[in-house]
Amino acid sequence: SKMRAGIAYESPIERDCLLLMDVLEGVAAFESQPLRLSFHLEGRVRSTFPDFLVTLRTGHQELWECKPDDRMLPVNSGFPTVW
């Protein structure tokens, strides 16, 4: 198992993401809410804590947000998708 003891999650969807990452062969490691990101949106500084930092076996790292469909933002929403 890639899961370390004590990985926090805040919803059933985040729990499901943890279980998925644990079995995906391309995922080497992951951690919960690894950092705070600040950005400008609609003239204001905002911040968010991504759900997971996922390290792939290639060494590439991705930030994952695990949300239900009704909370997903469209790509053209103005929210940054690449950091």
**pTM assigned to the model:** 0.75
Positions of the chain with pLDDT under 70: 1-6, 72-83
- Residue 21 near residue 30, CB atoms below 8 Å: yes
d(CA 61, CA 45): 25
d(CA 39, CA 31): 22
- Residue 2 near residue 28, CB atoms below 8 Å: yes
Q: Which pLDDT score is estimated for 74?
A: 65
Q: Which pLDDT score is estimated for 70?
A: 74
Q: Which pLDDT score is estimated for 42?
A: 85
Q: Which pLDDT score is estimated for 78?
A: 61
Q: Which pLDDT score is estimated for 28?
A: 95
d(CA 45, CA 68): 25
Q: Which pLDDT score is estimated for 60?
A: 95
Q: Which pLDDT score is estimated for 10?
A: 86
Core vs surface per residue 48-61: b (16+ CB within 10 A) or e: eebbbbbeeeeeee
